[in-house]
Amino acid sequence: MKRSWLLLRFLPISGLVALLSGCGVKGVSALIPMGKEAREQAWLMYLSLGIMVIVILVVASIYFYVLIRFHKRKGQEDYIPKQTEGNKILEIVWTVIPILLLCIIAVPTVKQTFAQSDTDVPKSQKKDVLQVDVTAHQFWWDFKYPDQKIETAQDVVVPVGKTVIFKITSADVVHSFWVPALGGKIDANPGQTTKLKLTPENEGVYRGRCAELCGSSHALMYFNVKVVSQSEFDQWVDGMKKGPEAPATASAQEGQELFKQNCMSCHAVGKEGGPVAPNLTDFADRKMIAGTLDHNKENLIKWITNPDAVKPGANMPARGMNKNLTDEQIQKIADYLFTLSVK
Amino acid sequence: MTANAHALAAYNQRKGFLSWLWTWLSTVDHKRIAILYLFGGGLFFVIGGIEALLIRIQLAVPQNDFLVGSTYNEVVTMHGTTMIFLAAMPLVFAMMNAVVPLQIGARDVAFPFVNALGFWLFFLGGIVLNTSWFLGGAPAGGWTAYAPLTTEFLGTGSDFYLLGLQLSGAGTLMGAINFMVTIINMRAPGMTFMRMPLFTWTSLITSTLILFAFPPLTVGFFLEFFDHIFHANFFNTAKGGNAIIFEHIFWIFGHPEVYILVLPAFGIISEVVATFSKKRLFGYTSMVFATVLIGFLSFMVWVHHMFTVGLGPMANSLFALATMTIAVPTGMKIFNWLFTMWGGQIHFTTANLFAVGFVPTFVMGGVTGVMLAVPSADSQYHDSYFVIAHFHYVIIGGVVFGLLAGLFYWWPKMFGKILNETLGKITFWTFFIGFHLTFFPQHFLGLIGMPRRYFTYFPDEGFNTWNLISSIGAIGMAIGAIVLVINIVITTAKGQKAAGDAWGIGRTLEWSIPSPPPEYNFAQTPLVKGIDTFWKEKMEGNKKVTPAEPLGDIHMPNPTILPFLMSIALTIAAYGFIFANQTSASRPLCLVIAAFGIGLMLLLMLIHSIKDDPGFHYHKEEIIEIEKGAE
């Protein structure tokens, strides 16, 4: 038997390790942390990974030594190895050393678990944190700012450098709120509120997603976290409070009327409209249509015309609540919706 | 003529397909039930494997539209459910049935009737679950079936899931009780607990875990079933229920389940590594201790599946520490295997290749397990592809590699023929390389942000390359599995006949009797003189194990069709409940059918209780003749 095959078998793995050049895409990946919590978590990942790599190296060295040194050779058919029962000292060594290694991981683990779960804000510091109430729905996200008294959906805007406490619940099934670049996830449970603390440290747009199987379009339940400067954030809040300006073109004005008749029992713009579906106050400023398509009119029309084709199982009826909007009317509604900007 | 002679004569007279079928439907012989489990588990393994390939086709490229939305969810759910409940579990039971009675020197399990009933319940439960594809749609709530998605938002698929698994779960529970009783009560003279082969030890611990883990699952599924069919609102938060409770119930079962699967694999590895190193197992006592400890700890760690539920830092920290402690006994096992090989003479048979391949693969699954035990970091890993990679390293690298090692190792004992070694090695290398190619990249996919159970991803997220590599790797695993099937067919047709001690270096009692063993296993109950008693006898120059009794008549149980009929009765009941939910018009009729099924079951139980079945005897002369023929 040749020896070389023993090494060959691990070629695929070592090849893959060599391939590990990037850490994913910025804004999507947990390995490119953009917030305090994600940074701390990445540190703990690397610590535990480092210790585990040591364990793997020790095991691998013994493993390869044993396989190469003790494999059966020709002419040894009658050889009977010594029937060893065990070795107390060795057995104690490989019990105690893992315990010590685990202690090295355990201490920072417990420390960080408590630190990151601490979402109680003393009254004196209330001004320094932003609270956002999140409600997960099949298959979209609702964001309320209780202190600012504004509401938006799909794209949540937060200021850089400030701690944000998300209070999260669900309107239907269990979802999970995850923004890998800013920090770990927490579940959105029906009938309960969970809290998640995130402190973005860099401006940018970070992808958020649902991480608990919630139905047909679980994979399409994206949202975005827009981290902006404090002044930009204040401007946005003012804009949201005022609401978007009235549409200027005739088409958009007609679209507004149609929207009121066909969409507003579920969707709200500003303070008007229903709470069942996403609030559209700053619709034109958002990054994606229905959380999945590129943000343009063509896609919006596609979505209104046949939501199920874009997002299977979505609760939005095709062609408005009365299901009778014509292509022309949908075009006008799209014109109107693209005027909904608070910039 | 004795009852047995009658049965034999009858069998010899009508050798048609029907009588062949009848012998399999009515068998209570543990060796035949092992083959049934192997067939059933193998069948579902192939189905689950095809579902896995469909998943990899969909995810090979971004924004693919091969399986979209609920169809993808159905495939994902059925893949997980099939592989855990309908493939891995029965394959473990196939090994236990084939080997445990032989390893302890017993003539059958303690309750042969219950053994058959357990198999048929599992098998028909699996059939019920899989017919969902053709009868209104498969379950789509994930193999974890979280409420309220499964109970309030999904259709009949949920009923197939809940009732199908209820049936097969009942079968599993029966099997476990049977093996506990068998191992505790039916060991040959001299076989003390601390002389039991390690596979028997792990089977005992696994059976104990099933005994404590499956009742919570049964209760959880009953509550979901009542929610779904009768709107009981146990998990409906709007009506005062609590959805989180189901997650607890599920994982109180679900975590031990991992060890239920992997402990027997540990046992197999211990047997295979020791045999093919020509050495006794290094640190036997600590291996037993580690097995018991892992079994105990497995009930203390379920919350690590729920770190992101929001249970608070105290619960998360405690369960994190408990989880980390499992690494210690598991590490002990790894080193014991390495030192069993140390100083030995390692034979690279296919069985041992799988055992040797198991060690580094399982270590990788183990270390990612420790990483997952860190709650704040887990909030990044949880429900991402990192977790998918981790548990496939544990369940394929651990359980499936272990089962394949056991399959190649014990195949000659089960069927009397040795599987082709060349084809076996092709299976090993394609499966091993394919496996690492499929699942190693998934670690990175998880870390760079890809969640599990996503049917699609954007091209700009950095997931493309890893997903493509992963899909290519799956082809390797498929080739390995196909070659294995070809190997089985060729071996069955014209394989090399195996001796009793098929590998020539067997250590435990199963190798001291013919391959395949006669129905009664041991003509004379053996006397066990120590660990690896057959090896000891061989070293002393004996060809056979010292018997503990003179040759005499052997009492055997009669075959019976009742276990099969009972399972059919419960299957009728299950379909009644399932269809009761589909249309309101036929609901009363369906509930009547369900009641009929349960009534039939009770009637069959009554018949079984009243009917006097004394069994039959193999007479001394018959035994002498059979033993001569085997030599």
Query: pLDDT, tens digit, for every residue of B52-108?
Result: 999 999 999 999 999 999 999 999 999 999 999 999 999 999 999 999 999 999 999
Joined together, the tokens standing for residue B137 give 């749609």
Mean pLDDT value across residues B298-310? 96
The closest alpha carbon to A33, from A268, B630, A65, A41, belongs to A41
pLDDT at B7: 55
Of B148, B328, B447, the CB nearest to A31: B447
Phi, psi of B56 (to 5 degrees): -70, -30
Of A76, A110, A209, the CB nearest to B451: A209
The interface residues of chain B toward chain A in range 461-500, judged by CB-CB distance below 8 A, are 461-462, 469
Q: Which residue has the higher pLDDT, B332 or B136?
A: B332
The closest alpha carbon to B94, from B86, B362, B519, B490, belongs to B86
pLDDT at B4: 52
Q: Which residues are within 8 A (CB) of B444 and not within 5 positions of it... i.e. 6 or more apart?
A: A20, A24, B466
Length of chain B: 631
Query: How many angstroms from the chain centroid is the CA of residue B384?
Result: 26
Q: Using a CB-CB distance cutoff of 8 angstroms, which residues of chain B are in contact with residue A105?
A: 324, 370, 374
| A316 Cα to chain B: minimum distance (Å) | 16
Q: How far apart (Å, rounded) are the C-alpha atoms in residues B437 and B435?
A: 5
DSSP of B449-480: TPBTT-S---GGGS-HHHHHHHHHHHHHHHHH
A-interface mutation test, from B66, B379, B382, most A Cβ less than 10 A away: B379
Contact A192 B142 (CB under 8 A): no
pLDDT for residue B11 is more than 70: no
Phi, psi of A151 (to 5 degrees): -140, 140
Query: How many angstroms from the chain centroid is the CA of residue A255?
Result: 34
- Judge if the upstream peptide bond of residue B148 is cis by omega within 30 degrees of 0: yes
Contact B376 A109 (CB under 8 A): yes
B-chain residue closest to A294, CA distance: B458
Query: Would you place residue A77 in the very low, low, confident or very high pLDDT band (cuts 50, 70, 90)?
Result: confident
Q: If you average pLDDT over every residue of chain B, what do you get? A: 94
3-state secondary structure of A131: strand
Domain ranges within chain A, ordered by starting residue: 27-69+88-117+126-230, 250-337
Query: How many angstroms from the chain centroid is the CA of residue B279?
Result: 28
Residue B548: C-alpha distances to residues A22, A140, B186, B516, B545 (Å): 67, 72, 14, 22, 9
Q: What share of chain B has pLDDT > 70, as a percent? A: 97
Contact B449 A180 (CB under 8 A): yes
| Chain A CB within 8 Å of residue B282 CB | yes
| B383 Cα to chain A: minimum distance (Å) | 6
pTM of the model: 0.94
| Chain A CB within 8 Å of residue B433 CB | yes
Query: Would you place residue A23 in the very low, low, confident or very high pLDDT band (cuts 50, 70, 90)?
Result: confident
The closest alpha carbon to B479, from B439, B428, B421, B408, belongs to B428
Joined together, the tokens standing for residue B353 give 């290749």
Mean pLDDT value across residues A118-122? 83
Of B284, B380, B440, the CB nearest to A180: B380
Partner residues linked to A188 by β-bridges: A175
pLDDT at B1: 38
Mean pLDDT value across residues B221-232? 93
Mean pLDDT value across residues B199-216? 98
* Architecture of domain B27-560+613-630 in this structure: Up-down Bundle (1.20)
pLDDT at A118: 87
The interface residues of chain A toward chain B in range 238-297, judged by CB-CB distance below 8 A, are none
Q: How far apart (Å, rounded) are the C-alpha atoms in residues A128 and A133?
A: 17
B-interface mutation test, from A14, A83, A222, most B Cβ less than 10 A away: A83
Phi, psi of A52 (to 5 degrees): -70, -35
pLDDT at B50: 97
pLDDT at B488: 97
Contact B338 A63 (CB under 8 A): yes
Joined together, the tokens standing for residue B550 give 């003179």
Q: How far apart (Å, rounded) are the C-alpha atoms in residues B129 and B86?
A: 10
pLDDT for residue A12 is more than 60: no
Contact B440 A207 (CB under 8 A): no
DSSP of A78-102: T---------HHHHHHHHHHHHHHH
pLDDT at A22: 64
For chain A, count helices (H), then strands (E): 9, 14
Whether the CB-CB separation of B63 and B456 falls below 8 Å is answered with: yes
pLDDT at A7: 47
Class of domain A27-69+88-117+126-230: mainly beta
Query: Would you place residue B470 in the very low, low, confident or very high pLDDT band (cuts 50, 70, 90)?
Result: very high
Joined together, the tokens standing for residue B413 give 């004992």
Whether the CB-CB separation of A225 and A158 falls below 8 Å is answered with: yes
Q: For tokens 């069998």, name the residue.
A: B11
Joined together, the tokens standing for residue A328 give 């022309």
Condensed to tens digits (0 to 9), the pLDDT of residues B487-496 reads 999 999 988 8
Q: Which residues are within 8 A (CB) of A44 and not within 5 positions of it... i.e. 6 or more apart?
A: A108, A109, A112, B374, B376, B377
pLDDT for residue A293 is more than 80: yes
Contact B462 A25 (CB under 8 A): yes
pLDDT for residue B294 is more than 90: yes
pLDDT at A21: 45
Q: If you average pLDDT over every residue of chain A, what do you get? A: 91
Pick the CATH number of A250-337 from 2.60.40.420, 3.40.50.300, 3.40.50.1820, 2.160.20.60: 2.60.40.420
For chains A and B, CB pairs below 8 A equal 299
A-chain residue closest to B464, CA distance: A24
Condensed to tens digits (0 to 9), the pLDDT of residues B237-257 reads 999 999 999 999 999 999 999
Contact B279 A83 (CB under 8 A): yes
The upper half-sphere exposure of residue A301, i.e. CA atoms within 13 Å in the direction of its Cβ, equals 13
pLDDT for residue A328 is more than 70: yes
Contact B367 A56 (CB under 8 A): yes
pLDDT for residue B624 is more than 80: yes
Joined together, the tokens standing for residue B141 give 């709530």
The ipTM is 0.92
Condensed to tens digits (0 to 9), the pLDDT of residues B363-407 reads 999 999 999 999 999 999 999 999 999 999 999 999 999 999 999
A-chain residue closest to B313, CA distance: A114
Radius of gyration of chain B, Cα coordinates, nearest whole angstrom: 25
Q: For tokens 């298959």, name the residue.
A: A139
> What's the start-to-end Cα distance of chain B, in Å?
27
Condensed to tens digits (0 to 9), the pLDDT of residues B533-564 reads 999 999 999 989 999 999 999 999 999 999 99
Q: How far apart (Å, rounded) are the C-alpha atoms in residues B435 and A119?
A: 42
pLDDT for residue A228 is more than 80: yes
